[in-house]
Chains A and B, each alone.
Chain A
């Protein structure tokens, strides 16, 4: 709650400042926006860490090995970073760059998820031995 208030307040200040800077020094406006985004996303990571720890406890309680949870968390981290980069690029007017960053993020998540897919195929293989 306190975090949201602070981020929203600073975002208002930054928004006014951005509209002031855009006409005179657009490159500095972009830098200011990027710095604010990095700071706000970084400050949201603290509460997110508690959620991640809760996931870890649930995984241990369910008797999981942590391998699949690691895949999920890695995908979340990739999505976090890729969304940040893509959004900043798009805000700078570089839509193609933003698309590229998003595409690379999707490929990275796909590669990360390959072990899960292989495990699923193995399970299917064991369930359906007659096909082989």
Chain B
């Protein structure tokens, strides 16, 4: 179980949340939205890799035909 990716997602999440707070306090709403969107896309890419790995593992474990 490789937890590095989990901690990376958690760290990126908190950084994005804080930067979003700063940018929206500074009145740059559009940039804050873009930042959130970029963070979501990056995290989604990582997440998709993990889910693909899970599905491949399920297929190899339960393969009996």
Contact = CB atoms under 8 A, between A and B. Distances in A.
Interface of A: 3, 6-7, 10, 13-14, 17, 20-21, 24-25, 27-29, 31-32, 34-36, 38-43, 45, 48-49, 52, 56, 66-67, 69-70, 73-74, 76-77, 80-81, 84
Nearest to B7: A13
Given A38-B53, A39-B50, A70 B64 contact: yes
Given A34-B47, A38-B51, A84-B54, A28 B61 contact: no
Contacts of B59: 77
17 contacts: A13-B10, A21-B14, A21-B17, A25-B17, A31-B9, A38-B50, A38-B51, A38-B53, A39-B2, A39-B6, A42-B50, A49-B61, A56-B64, A67-B65, A74-B65, A77-B58, A80-B58
Contact of A42 (B13, B44, B57): B57
A54 B1 CA distance: 23
Interface of B: 1-3, 5-6, 9-10, 12-14, 16-17, 20-21, 36, 39-40, 43-44, 46-47, 50-51, 53-55, 57-59, 61-65
A10 B10 contact: no
